[in-house]
């Protein structure tokens, strides 16, 4: 379809009908319906939707273990705080390709941006589930109560603006799918601006999420609380993002192998080693930041109890170990070791964010928070729903398969 034809008066009706038919055709499911992933994910999504209906009708207390003492649980700790860190790959890769001009990473730009966009839409969107009065989410945007002094004001605006920036970055793919050549050209001219805007926003809100916990000094265990949480969140999001790209890339390469240009199969390994190198360096920096803060705060005595052991497991087992593994794998060209290191890194980031927001939060309190089974189902629902949308987009739009305008990319 051509957008110019769509606007030419006489053919408008016919074009609109054609466009409607095209959309209906694209909405139809493709491929096998009965697959192990579908069989597992579909019931969880249906159950999650049912639980969410109960949550919105009867309130948070009906499905969660949250209370006045523990107002933030799994939905904030995993979906929002962890999910956004794991989506950090989009700003890292766009920076590498569009600003540093490392063209060899261009083949994974689109899929990384799509992952980032969906992660923000689903994980940041999950914030609505956790608000006692979800309709007030619009307040920081419309000015009903801006709350300039709150870190959440920054986070709310940044999430909104970053989602728009990522959509602009991804929009040329949508225009190409719809066959809108002129619109695509216009959108492509906006990409670089959107990328720079998006990177600026990311550096601020990745650290802003950490800044949310600055006011909880009395509640967070001293091994995890530091005034440098924002910096730690930002640096660790780089390693988390790169590791997620490695994991997602590995899975996508197997699941969507028919969509990938066979000539690119060989270069994928090179890309993975490049990403692993970046992850090793960022984990190295992150580890030394952690060590510097530990020494600065003189926390030696805190290592003696179970909390200390738990802290060491996180820092040594899931920061230092993957850092060493990444370096070893890059040097010795071991793809399998890269994947193990990426998995360890992602686990470590999940652990770190959960430690700060849930496990080591209210550590002295007698009432401990454990997520209810319904909170876990809704969290799984969010993850599976994102994968379903990702699969739908990748099967229809030129995300992994080469663009018809590949030569024009700048």
Partner 1 sequence: METYHYVNIFETKGLEYLLLICFLVLFVLLIRYLERPKPEESSENRASRVTRRHPC
- Residues binding partner 1 (CB under 8 A): 277, 280-281, 284-285, 288, 291-292, 295-296, 298, 327, 330-333
Rank residues 14 and 333 by Cβ distance to partner 1 and give the closer one.
Answer: 333
Q: Report in angstroms how near the CB of residue 231 gets to partner 1 at its nearest.
A: 15
* Structural tokens at position 325: 């593994």
Rank residues 49 and 291 by Cβ distance to partner 1 and give the closer one.
Answer: 291
**Angle ∠(67,41,63) on CA atoms, nearest 5:** 15
Q: Report in angstroms how near the CB of residue 333 gets to partner 1 at its nearest.
A: 7
Instruction: Write the CB contacts of 159 (distance below 8 Å, at least 6 apart in sequence).
Output: 120, 124, 127, 205
Q: Report in angstroms how near the CB of residue 101 gets to partner 1 at its nearest.
A: 19
Rank residues 219 and 334 by Cβ distance to partner 1 and give the closer one.
Answer: 334
Rank residues 281 and 376 by Cβ distance to partner 1 and give the closer one.
Answer: 281
Instruction: Write the CB contacts of 130 (distance below 8 Å, at least 6 apart in sequence).
Output: 60, 66, 72, 73, 75, 76, 80
Rank residues 137 and 295 by Cβ distance to partner 1 and give the closer one.
Answer: 295
Cβ(239)–Cβ(206) under 8 Å?
no
* Structural tokens at position 165: 């920036």
Q: Report in angstroms how near the CB of residue 63 gets to partner 1 at its nearest.
A: 46
Q: Report in angstroms how near the CB of residue 100 gets to partner 1 at its nearest.
A: 16
* CA gap 73, 79 in Å, rounded: 10
Rank residues 84 and 283 by Cβ distance to partner 1 and give the closer one.
Answer: 283
Q: Report in angstroms how near the CB of residue 277 gets to partner 1 at its nearest.
A: 5
* Structural tokens at position 288: 């030394």
**Angle ∠(143,129,46) on CA atoms, nearest 5:** 140
The kind and range of the H/E element at 22 are: helix 12-27
Rank residues 272 and 360 by Cβ distance to partner 1 and give the closer one.
Answer: 272
* Alpha-carbon torsion, ordered 17, 19, 22, 27, to 10 deg: -100
Q: Report in angstroms how near the CB of residue 327 gets to partner 1 at its nearest.
A: 6
* Structural tokens at position 389: 């949308």
* CA gap 298, 281 in Å, rounded: 26
């Amino acid at each position: 379809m051509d957008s110019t034809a769509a606007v030419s008066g006489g053919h408008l009706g016919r074009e609109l009908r054609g466009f409607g038919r095209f959309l209906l055709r694209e909405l139809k499911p493709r491929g096998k319906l009965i697959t192990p992933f579908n069989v597992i994910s579909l019931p969880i999504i249906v159950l999650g939707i049912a639980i969410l209906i109960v949550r919105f009708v009867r309130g948070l207390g009906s499905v969660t273990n949250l209370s006045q003492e523990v107002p933030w649980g799994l939905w904030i700790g995993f979906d929002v705080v962890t999910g956004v860190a794991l989506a950090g790959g989009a700003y890292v890769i766009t920076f590498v390709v569009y600003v540093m001009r490392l063209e060899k990473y261009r083949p994974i730009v689109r899929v990384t941006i799509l992952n980032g966009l969906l992660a923000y839409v689903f994980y940041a969107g999950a914030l609505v589930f956790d608000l006692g009065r979800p309709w007030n989410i619009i307040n920081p945007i419309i000015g009903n109560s801006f709350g300039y002094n709150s870190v959440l004001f920054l986070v709310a605006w940044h999430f909104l603006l970053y989602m728009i920036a990522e959509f602009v970055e991804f929009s040329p793919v949508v225009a190409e799918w719809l066959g809108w050549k002129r619109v695509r050209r216009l959108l492509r001219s906006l990409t670089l601006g959107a990328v720079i805007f998006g990177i600026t926003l990311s550096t601020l809100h990745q650290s802003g999420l950490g800044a949310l916990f600055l006011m909880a000094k009395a509640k967070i265990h001293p091994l995890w609380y530091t005034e440098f949480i924002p910096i730690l969140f930002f640096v660790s999001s780089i390693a988390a993002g790169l590791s997620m790209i490695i994991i997602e890339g590995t899975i996508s390469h197997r699941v969507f192998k028919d969509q990938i240009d066979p000539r690119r199969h060989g270069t994928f390994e090179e890309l993975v080693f490049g990403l692993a190198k970046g992850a090793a360096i960022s984990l190295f920096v992150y580890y030394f930041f952690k060590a510097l803060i530990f020494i600065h705060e003189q926390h030696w005595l805190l290592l003696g109890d179970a909390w200390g052991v738990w802290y060491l497991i996180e820092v040594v087992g899931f920061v230092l170990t993957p850092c060493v593994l990444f370096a070893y794998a890059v040097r010795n060209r071991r793809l399998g070791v890269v994947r193990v290191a990426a998995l360890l890194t992602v686990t470590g980031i999940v652990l770190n964010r959960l430690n700060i927001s849930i496990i080591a939060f209210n550590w002295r309190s007698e009432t401990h928070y454990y997520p209810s089974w319904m909170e876990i189902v809704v969290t799984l629902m969010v993850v599976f729903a994102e994968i379903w949308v990702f699969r739908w987009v990748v099967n229809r739009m030129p995300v992994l398969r080469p663009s018809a305008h590949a030569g024009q990319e700048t």
